[in-house]
Copies of this chain bind each other. A is one copy, B any other.
Amino acid sequence: MTKEPTTSVAVSPAGEAVPLSSRATRAAERRAAIVDAAMEEFIARGFAATRLDDIAKRAGVAKGTIYLHFKDKESMFEELVRTVIVPVVAKLTALPPPTGSVRDLVEAFASNFLKEVIGTRRGDLVRLIVAEGPRFPSVADFYYREVVSRGIAGMRALIELGIARGEIRETDLARYPQILVAPAMIAVIWQSLFARHAPLDAQDMLRVHLDLIFGERRTT
């Protein structure tokens, strides 16, 4: 994903293959390559310790090229987070059809989260935001506005639905949707930090947690 940013369709300098990559396309590809590479590096080393040289090398572009797309290192970091988060938000907003039990909904959600976030680049991004948030208020703000507040609102709606339908007994839970997602967040962080000491079966843990909330065991 990060390795081959240079050509989109044809490589042959001869010409037979149609050069489908317009100037704009090429530019977009380069930008994407830079974003990917930067993501990788920022996650691995944090903002301050990341060298633009390394990003450029990894992206397969010259250092100066970065400055055609981003004002400076800080803006790059900020825009990067935005760029990467937006599609996640999109998926998050694309709520699944409200059929079946609330538990099913939440479980589907959790399952998706497990697949898409925990142990992936996106999970590392969460850790990155936790790490750099205090030094990048704009990033923390953006993340709160776009992800956290929406996520909390969505969870709250689900919880209230669960309460209304009698699936959830603990009515106060609606005041703290954070509780619903806390184990998932912990799982994300755990995988980054302690996976090699004690691997965590995130899926099973989340199931137990849902049992706690929805009251009964599910036979998977």
Chain B contacts for A190, CB-based, 8 A: 178
**Chain B residue nearest in CB terms to A45:** B135
Q: Given that A186-B186, A212-B173 are known contacts, is A194 also in contact with B148, CB under 8 Å in the complex?
A: yes
Report the interface size for chain A: residues with CB under 8 A from the other chain: 48
Chain B contacts for A148, CB-based, 8 A: 194
**Chain multiplicity (copies):** 4
Contact of A179 among B49, B192, B209 (CB under 8 A): B209
A149 at the interface (CB under 8 A from B): yes
Q: Give bound CA distance, A44 to B137, whole Å.
A: 12
Contact A130 B189 (CB under 8 A): yes
Q: Mark A167-179, 1 if CB is under 8 A from B, else 0.
A: 0001011011011
Q: Give bound CA distance, A185 to B127, whole Å.
A: 13
Contact A176 B205 (CB under 8 A): yes
A4 at the interface (CB under 8 A from B): no
The contact sample of 21 A-B pairs, CB cut-off 8 A, is: A44-B134, A46-B132, A47-B49, A49-B135, A127-B130, A130-B131, A130-B192, A130-B193, A144-B193, A172-B211, A173-B208, A173-B212, A176-B204, A176-B209, A178-B186, A178-B200, A178-B205, A179-B205, A182-B185, A185-B189, A212-B212
* A interface residue numbers (CB < 8 A to B): 44-49, 127, 129-135, 140-141, 143-144, 148-149, 170, 172-173, 175-176, 178-179, 181-183, 185-187, 189-190, 192-194, 197-198, 200, 204-205, 208-209, 211-213
Can you add 18 more A-B contacts, CB < 8 Å, to A130-B193, A140-B193, A178-B200?
A: A44-B134, A46-B48, A127-B134, A131-B131, A131-B132, A140-B194, A144-B194, A149-B197, A170-B212, A172-B211, A176-B208, A178-B187, A178-B205, A179-B208, A179-B212, A182-B186, A185-B185, A186-B186
